Structure 1
């Protein structure tokens, strides 16, 4: 991404600078910006991705105002102190100072031109801190924290560790210094990720708006899942395949290691359904591997074939992806796709997950996910445990891949439990359309 000055001719329009600190945060920011660009009087938009190269912004032709660089950790420094040291050696400190200077330079230059300026910070305390000391009005989309990490609607969650009390020592998952940044006069809007967090933040007179979570936007499938049902849906419902999404994450090489772990769970699940006493033994199993575009499907295919899967020409489900790879083993099918992510989430009954955003989006659709902690740096035991608190009963943690089969069979036997899981997931992740609602509120507040 090229470094540009961010200067523009004097205009009556709003000049908006977006700060984000991670690939997922970039995507959320872009969803909001796309909605902003659809408004009748959109702002002129600039960006500064604080982590990574900000490729998501390039698709909207949004110019970058400062230096960008991919750090060794990929943005997961809070997971591991060693990752932080690698980033420091890779120039993190110098990059941070140059970014702070770029922000202040951009604000000053726009003000000299007589333009109205504002900053949209997306992520955690880092972009929020940069926005606070930018000398411009700002808004904050809080993607990293939720009160669900420490409480639910009933009250505080029971925690074993004394260190865990630190997370909520001041009455909120957001610490006093973070709330101070959100309560400054120039902070005109805060968009928490869920209703519970919004309710708590309002206790400190923070301008918090409960408009939903943009993570649930843009997930509509292009093809209806009804295409693999027969015409007589009611009669054939029990005969339809049990569809399970496989979510190994998007970051290499971790995702390849996660894939091997997931395949152990898949093998155990197939064996369980082949037993005479298995529930719904007539059901075939269909596994949908939702593979990030940046991963190499050849590596994943090698793992499949080493565990007895054979390439196949036909599938009971036709994904809208001409490059789908199809494999078969016994009465089970496995499909690898890098272009039908939304269909994988919508068509699956449950998921075997070792991912961050994908797991949360799946749960937000009202479905149960089964998670297996990995070795990290992202999807390690600490991350998985925290995610299980965030998502509540919708995310079921198991210690070993072989335990997945028991969980799946239990879910099939408990339709009442599935209904509660569906309600829980939708409540915690919110309804689609948040990006549009946030965009409209931003223009109203920042103009």
Structure 2
């Protein structure tokens, strides 16, 4: 049985999924030596576990200008290439090969890039495929948005959203585990000879069952997710705050602004001031739930809280979101969302349309700030429509428990 494991992940959402699986794996194998290699960014999701001595991050690392979304535009690819992407990838490949020559396995989390690196190691590897789901092309697009008949026809011809070169790598004899996010996707891959499994979605693990505070029960509750990739998240936050300025709710409403380490509290303060919001005294009740600042404009009250998403998410009635993984988690918790695509590099119109299809309509992309404000008012006044969209999100994301089942498979198939 192997005593060491190298984990590759290529993005913030993938880092979070890998972290969940590793935490569950540590319960089974506390003696396991774990090294993680973040392929995109600095792997900040692993910082706490590294500080506790549970794992070690390896280099080389580089904060890419595109935030890891160079596949969405030639401009983003050009900027990443100029920033040193080819040299970064070559150094990462050399590290992975050195690791595999010592006889230790590699676990890839993400899409084609970590999968190819794991395969190129020459050793045994496993793969957790996070971004692709056959639910995307099997679902109709959001109303009012341009359809994608050519792309849908292409996926139907393949019978899977994964591509033939990806099937070939997954089908390698050295690949001991392929896990995907849902049964429909696993069934599509099995038709192409890939022994894919769908043990559950790790994204839905790690949420505490915190009851809704009594002082929030009488107020309308939104959660605002601007994303974590700078500088895009700042522009997205400015646009979402601008939507709130366009209209006032019929009743007092609290907007829970849950952010990570970025944007910073100072950046949020600057955005809120420029958006016409004014600072308010922070109540003891708000401070007790982790809020660090309170701002107001008319009937809107905004509470800022860093690293409060897991605690606050299930309290919201609706989300205003331009995030990736966090929006999917919100849908899985039964909170429908409205999104507002921007110039990118991540949250562009194509990404938002695909996300809506992936989640079965639990998130609805809006074509303008005015459209978002109109839909927000409609959904706040229609609890039946909110409940219908909430059910769609829960169904697409699945229940909690996926991390523990994945950890058992990793131990059995990759470490054994």
Q: Could you state the TM-score of these two structures normalised by the residue count of structure 1?
A: 0.84
State the Cα distance separating 1:419 from its structure 2 match: 2.7
Q: Deviations over 1:294-313 (max 9, x none)?
A: 21222322332333322111
Aligned partner of 2:19 among 19, 30, 54: 30
Greater displacement, 302-311 / 249-258 = 302-311
TM-aligned CA distance change 1:67 to 1:328, over 3 Å: closer
Looking at structure 2, the residues matched to 302 and 142 of structure 1 have their Cα atoms a distance apart, in angstroms, of 38
**Does 1:135 pair with 2:122?**
yes
Pairing partner for 2:108 from 96, 121, 141: 121
Q: Which residue of structure 1 aligns with residue 326 of structure 2?
A: 358
**Once the 2 structures are TM-superposed, how far is the Cα of residue 28 of structure 1 from its aligned partner?**
1.3
Check whether the contact 1:13–1:44 (CA below 8 A) recurs between aligned residues: no
Report the equivalent of 2:394: 426
1:375 aligns with 343
Change (3 A) 1:252 1:71: closer
TM-superposition CA deviations, 1:24-81 (whole Å, max 9, x none) = 2122112111111111565322222222233333433323455222222221111221
Where 2:257 maps in the other structure, the secondary structure is strand
Q: Is it true that 1:313 corresponds to 2:286 in the alignment?
A: no
> Equivalent residue for 1:7?
none
| Separation in structure 2 between the aligned mates of residue 336 and residue 328 of structure 1, nearest angstrom | 11
- Supply the distance in 2 between the matched residues of 1:364 and 1:269 (Cα, whole angstroms): 28
Aligned partner of 1:89 in structure 2 is 82
Alignment check: 8 A CA contact 1:289 1:336 kept: yes
Q: Distance in 2 between matches of 1:182 and 1:202?
A: 11
Q: Residue 200 of structure 2: SS of its match in structure 1?
A: coil
Per-residue deviation, 1:151? 0.7
Q: Deviations over 1:246-291 (max 9, x none)?
A: 1111112211211121112112231xx3xxxxxxx4x311111112
The residue number in structure 2 matching 1:55 is 44
The structure number with the bigger radius of gyration is 1
User: Unpaired segments of 5 or more residues in structure 2?
Assistant: none
User: Within 1, Cα distance between the matches of 2:405 and 2:182?
Assistant: 14
Contact 2:294/2:304 (CA < 8 Å) preserved in 1? yes
Matched, 1:254 2:232: yes
Paired with 1:416 and 1:381, the residues of 2 have a C-alpha distance of 27
Which one has more relative contact order, counting CA pairs under 8 Å at least 6 apart?
2
Q: Distance in 1 between matches of 2:195 and 2:31?
A: 22
- For residues 224 and 211 of structure 2, what CA distance do their matches in structure 1 show? 19
Q: 2:294 aligns with which of 326, 342, 345?
A: 326
Judging changes above 3 Å, is the alpha-carbon distance between structure 1 residues 47 and 415 closer, same or farther for their aligned structure 2 residues? same
Q: Single out whichever of 332-341 and 37-46 deviates more from structure 2.
A: 37-46
For 1:407 and 1:131, the matched residues in 2 are separated by 44
- How many equivalent residue pairs? 407
